[in-house]
Every structure is written in C-alpha cells, then in structure tokens.
Amino acid sequence: MTGPILRIAVPSPLYRTFDYLPPPDRDLTALRPGLRVRVPFGRRQVVGFLLETSDSTSLDPAALRPALEILDSEPPLPADVLALLQWARRYYHHPPGEVFATALPVLLRQGEPALPPALPPSWRITAAGRTALAESAVLRRAPVQRLLLEHLAGCADGASLETLRPVARDSAATLRALRARGWVELIAAPTPNTPTPPPPRIPHPPLILNAAQAEAIASIAAALERFQVFLLEGVTGSGKTEVYLRVIEAVLARGRQALVLTPEIGLTPQLLARFRERLPGPLAVLHSGLNDRERLNAWLLARDGTARVVVGTRSAVFAPLRAPGILIVDEEHDPSFKQQDGFRYHARDLAVVRGRQLGIPVVLGSATPALESCQNARRERYQLLQLPERVGGGAEPAIDILDVRRQPLLEGLSRPLLERMRLHLARNEQVLLFLNRRGFAPILLCHECGWLSACRHCDARMTLHLRQRRLICHHCGDSRPVDSVCPLCGSVDLRPLGHGTERLETALRQEFPDLGIARMDRDSTRRRGSLETLLADIHNGDHRILIGTQMLAKGHHFPDVTLVGIVDADQGLHGVDFRSSERMAQLILQVAGRAGRAEKPGNVVIQTHHPDHPLLRVLVAQGYPAFAAAALAERQAALLPPFAHQALLRAEAADPERATAFLKAARALAEPLADGVELLGPAPAPMERRAGRYRAQLLTQAARRQDLHGFLDRWIARLWEHATDRQVRWSLDVDPMELY
Ligand code: ADP
Ligand code: ZN
Ligand code: ZN
C-alpha cells in the first residue's frame, strides 16, 4: 500500500466520489479535507476536492490512479462552508462534485491559486524537486527546467514570477511544467493571522427609529452570539433596510462580518449606494454580472476579512467569511433564491442551515414572506418581528379591483384605467404599468387558417418580438425571423394575439404621444449599463409612464409614481402551479410598494376577469398577513407544502416512452421503501416537450420531513445503481418551487 487513499469529489454529474492514490513524492501529513486536487478523469484532467482520506477502498487498490497534484496548502474554503456543502450534498441528494464546484469561483475551479490579488504568489522548490536536481539524469534533456530549479533551490522563501522571468526563457510555461511534475509549488505570501480590528464608525443619519424598528434591532442585537432566525416582516418603506444597517453596524463593532443575500434583480445601484455610504470598509459584491476575475477578487476579499460586508445573490450563500457574524436574506420569498437547474439548492434555506452551524443569527426580511416562512413563524421556529407602518406615517397605497369583464380594452387596458392614468398624468405624476410578459405578443396567429406560431422544439408558442423582428421561444431560446406569410396556407393575414410589454408600449405611445415612456424588461436592459441609464432617466423625470415586467417590482423606489396598474392579474390567479396565487399576491404588493411617498400615497388598480376570487379579495381588503393565513389554510386542507414535504423526480428523453419507462422503474424501486411517503405519478410534465425533449415526472411527498429524507437516502442510491438507460436524463428536485 502506497499510503492513504484520497476520496475526491470530482466535478461530474455522477452521484459518487472517486478514489485516488496520493500524487508521488508528496508530503502526506498536510493532507486535509477541502484541498483542491488535480486528478486524471477519463482522458481529461480535472480539479476536484479532497473530501477525506481513508485506509481502504472498495475498489482494487492496484487499479487506482494517482492524483497529479495537490493545488493548495490550505483549503480554499473555510471549514464552515465545507460543512454546509456536506450538509447540502446529503439533503439535496446531488452529485458531490457539482455541489462542491458551486461554491468556488470559476478561476479556482480551473485550478488557479486561491491567493489574495494584492499579494502575488511565489514559487518554491519542493523536496521532490531537490531530489530531481540531485539525480540530475532526469533533467539532462531539460536545461531550462534545470536552470529554474537551480535558481529556486537558492531562494529559501520562494520567488515571485516577476523575479523569475529574467532567469530563463518562457519562465511561466516552464514553471507550469515543473509544477505538473511536482517539483515546484505555488505558495501564498504570508497573510497576517491577527483578527482585523473593528472599522471606524460612520455616524448614523439623524433619524429617530420608530418603536417597531427599535424593538426589532434590540431583539436581533440581543442574539448576536447564538443561532436564531428572525422573520422581519414589513411593507416596503417600513424601514427594514435601516434595521439591517443598524444590526450590521453592531456586528462590525464586534469585529465580525455580515453576509447579505438579495435577489438578482433586487441588487440595485440604489441599495449598494446606501450600503457603501453607511458602512465602513470595502464592500464585496458577488453577482452574476461580474467577470471571472472580478468575482474571484471579491470572493478573496470576503475570505480574508478585508470586506466587512458581503452582498450577493444566490450562490453568495457559500461565500467564504473569515469571521461570520450575521446572515441576512432580503426579499426572502423571492423565487430566484432557488436554483432551477443542476444543483437545485435554496439559498434562503441554506442560509438558515449555515447560521445554525455557525451559531449566529439569520434575518429573513420581506414585505410578503413565503408561506413556508410564515408557517415557521407561527410554529415559533422563527421569531417574528413586524414593522407594521410606513416610515413617516405615509399611508399605504389604496388598492382597487377593476372588473374588466365585458369592458372594451385598448390593447389590454380598460377605459377606467386609462381615465385614472389621465388624471394622474395631468397632475404631473408618474404612472407605472405592470405586465409580466415581455415581447409584443405571446402568439402570432393566422386569421385565415388558424395556424399558431408553435415552437418546433417545445409544447409552446413562440413570442412575437416586433422590435427585433423575430419569433422567440421563451422556453428553449430558439428564434427565427417573423413569417410574412402563413407557413400553412400562404395567407398574409397574420395577427398578434395577446399582449406583451412591447405592445403596451406601442399602444401607449399612440395614446400619449407627448409623454416620455420607459419600458423596463429583460429585452430593454440587456446591454451592460442600460438599466442604470434607464433608472437615472426615470428619476430625472424624463419618463412619465413606466411599463415593466417583474424587473420593475424589486428594489427600486419611484417616489413620483402615484398610480400603479396591474394589467393582467388573471395569469397568476389561475396558474397550473399551486404556488401561483402566492406568487401573484407577492408581485402585486411588491409592485404597489414601488409607488408613492408620505405626502403622495399611491393608488393601485388591479385588472381582472375574476373580481370575486376569494384570495384576491382577502389580499385587497385585509392585506398580506390575512392573505397568508387564508392561503395557508387552503394548503393545509389540501396537504400541500408547507404542510407536506416534496421531492420531484424529473426525467427527460428524446423518446417519450423512455422517460416514462425510467420513472415507472423508479417507482417500482420506491414502493417497498416508501414508508410514510406518497408516490404520485409518473405523469407527463405540464409542458411535456421542451427543447426537443419529452419530460415526465414522479412526485414524492410526505407529511414529515424526516420520512421523506429517510426514504430519499435509500431510494436515490438505488436509483443510481439501476439507472442504466443512458438516453434518459434525470434529476431530483428537493423542495421544488415549480412543479414542471
Ligand atoms: P424598506 O427597506 O422597508 O423598504 P427603508 O429602510 O429603505 O425601508 O426605509 C424607507 C426610507 O425611510 C428610507 O429612505 C430610509 O432612509 C428612511 N427611514 C428609515 N427609517 C427611518 C426613521 N426611523 N426615520 C426617518 N426615516 C427613516
Ligand atoms: Zn394560415
Ligand atoms: Zn422552444
């Protein structure tokens, strides 16, 4: 036996770890979980994670391949993140290699040294390198390598690449070659290991906290040394962010760091500016708009504690922190915290797990908490902190339901809504229209023969985008030029059916030709910086009418908006998913919250064909807490989450039979194991064909979480053994947020 076996999480979609022998000539005493290891994998070389070392392997030790190189002297991820990943890997039953890769910036996944950007790493000769020099035979044919090695043999503390460049031709490439042979290594320049002192205080703005704010801050501040989840519920403008800021100040004063998670589109310039202005020291920001280098640098600043406050989107829940003190999840109900492909984790739920493991408080903030969180507060697992009023006593917007049945509609807008718009516009105020559908029209229809713009790859229609002159499928991304004649009958009478934001914009430009109109959706903000420009123009008052999708619903505040129109609430009220009414209520209130200020409260008008929808009525008449209570009662009666726990097994294949056959076999495996667990399906997915593949699903559900997870532990392991049909792609979604 050549020493310990390395058990490695290799970035591959396989539900297992891989065993390797240690690389030759390597000091084995320094092996620790979390080190990155370069290993051969098939015909490739990949960077994996050392999970543990072991004396035994279930494989034939003679067949094991040696690892090529250990990339780190210290694990790049702190112990608490490693523990979180281990937890997540078991809970989500996901291939370990992909789980671990999620937590690392791309450059580190590719093997780059995990060293602070300010301190260039230095190269040092290894023991094996000295041996190689002594047995000079190996180096006879490699004079450049020899030259560099000899030079490094004389540098006790190593040497940076800069100082090595003049030593030999092509030093960088030669060093890489030497490293691959294990003769040199990269080491971090020494980092001071003393805790960073608390940063200087920045004075508060001269505002007096209201009683609810003061109480919320006091409750959280009293729990800084232990694990406790707080659900901070307060309407937009009730001062939640001020609570975050004060609590963060208290955490920083103890020399600790704060991690703040926000939804992707909630991470606005406004929010960041407020954080920068109020909190001392550099802020690390982690979001999907960064390039790989920027992301690595922000990540390293968080890890070495230089950044006292780290703000980021979903995957920042894995951000390394030197001295974590608090975790805050803003807009905790937002669906973007759930990853919808690959490793399907929920960042809010993982924040709670991380807080528990670290023994620090977690604050979940929202005007419209997820029903799961409401239920946790009712069961007193979370401590509820409410900010019931808008700061400054501003009235909450008045919400009206507008029955559009039998009403003439101008491109989806009823006459009463248009009249209300004119009223507000005449007073020089702004109007915001919310329509959660981008493009011109969701369908192009032939009036002659009834042909519809179906996608070739999906059970879906292609959306008409007139500006781009293309039909685009919002499900698979396929696009083509707009047909000028019907592909079936040759008629030229092709008509757009239904309304998107682009169409609304066109109609309003005709109706209000003299007014500035801004459209905010993914199409109009695709270019880098275009969102910022649009927001600045809106705040300067250049635009009087704002049209947007859910992008408009978050983070921004438009104080001059006094009328908000929800153009089509019916979409959400009657969605296929049991969560769609919750989602619609959250969106309505969020959009409503964008508007108004103390002296100019907002008005909200909701257009619907179902004015008597019970949940909609409760929401409008009594507000979100009453809505949540009613919706929870419905969920309880139907035994749906949070009163049941679900995991969804999805399968897809080019051939519909195969996906179903796989799920039938999976069900047969599950039946003897499913104690206290209900199996529903297999059934075709609501959109059966997507991107050319047929999708089916099997839902598993249990009243008790531990029953479900006990079952999944046994079932998923067997499924991997039995799932031999290579044509079927499958995945498990634990706590699915969408059932398709
Ligand atoms: P939320 O995050 O709940 O939307 P904010 O914390 O952003 O609310 O507060 C809304 C506005 O009121 C901000 O401009 C904030 O600076 C201000 N504000 C917050 N708390 C107070 C207070 N106690 N007194 C005066 N202004 C406040
Ligand atoms: Zn036709
Ligand atoms: Zn498609």
Q: How far away, in angstroms, is 623 Cα from ligand 1 center?
A: 21
Q: How far away, in angstroms, is 443 Cα from ligand 2 center?
A: 14
CB atoms within 10 A of CB 4: 15
Locate the ligand 1 atom nearest the alpha carbon of residue 367 and give its number. 3
Which residue's CA is the nearest one to ligand 1's atom 18?
Answer: 239
Q: How far away, in angstroms, is 122 Cα from ligand 2 center?
A: 69
pLDDT tens, position by position, 196-240:
555 666 777 778 899 999 999 999 999 999 999 999 999 888 999
Which residue's CA is the nearest one to ligand 1's atom 11?
Answer: 237
How crowded is the C-beta side of 315, counted as CA atoms within 13 Å? 20
Ligand nearest to the CA of 274: 1
User: Amino acid identity of 70?
Assistant: I
Q: Which residues contact 44 (CB under 8 A, 6 or more apart)?
A: none
Strand pairing of 159-160 and 122-125?
antiparallel
Q: What dihedral angle (degrees, nearest 10) is formed by the CA atoms of 258, 263, 269, 272?
A: -10
Q: Write the DSSP assignment of 239-269 as a string of letters.
A: SHHHHHHHHHHHHHHTT-EEEEE--GGG--H
Task: State which of 231, 233, 241 you would mutate to test the pocket of ligand 1, scoring each by most atoms of that ligand within 8 A of its C-beta.
Answer: 241
Q: Which residue has the tokens 């690449």?
A: 161
φ, ψ for residue 640, nearest 5 deg: -110, 165
Q: Which residues contact 589 (CB under 8 A, 6 or more apart)?
A: 235, 236, 367, 368, 619, 624
User: What's the pLDDT at 607?
Assistant: 95
User: What's the pLDDT at 2?
Assistant: 52
User: What's the pLDDT at 195?
Assistant: 45
CB 307 within 8 A of CB 298: yes
Angle between helices 580-592 and 614-622 (to 10 degrees): 30
663/669 Cα distance (integer angstroms)? 10
Q: How far away, in angstroms, is 467 Cα from ligand 2 center?
A: 23
Locate the ligand 1 atom nearest the alpha carbon of residue 242 and give its number. 6
Ligand nearest to the CA of 262: 1
Strand partners, 730: 651
Tokens of 86: 């281990």
Q: How far away, in angstroms, is 466 Cα from ligand 2 center?
A: 19
430/621 Cα distance (integer angstroms)? 25
Pocket flag, ligand 1, residue 555 (CB < 6 Å): no
Q: How far away, in angstroms, is 598 Cα from ligand 2 center?
A: 55
Pocket flag, ligand 1, residue 213 (CB < 6 Å): yes
| Residues with pLDDT less than 70, the chain | 1-3, 25-26, 116-121, 136, 156-157, 188-201, 265-267, 393-394, 555, 597-599, 740
Between the alpha carbon of residue 91 and those of residues 86, 344, 680, the distances in Å are: 9, 11, 21
User: Which chain residues have CB less than 5 Å from ligand 3, an ion?
Assistant: 455, 457-458, 473, 475-476, 478
Task: State which of 242, 385, 539 you would mutate to test the pocket of ligand 1, scoring each by most atoms of that ligand within 8 A of its C-beta.
Answer: 242
The whole-angstrom distance between residue 147's C-alpha and the CA centroid of its chain comes to 49
Q: Which residues contact 156 (CB under 8 A, 6 or more apart)?
A: none
Pocket flag, ligand 1, residue 234 (CB < 6 Å): yes
- Name the 3-class secondary structure at 86: helix
Q: Which residue has the tokens 């799920």?
A: 663
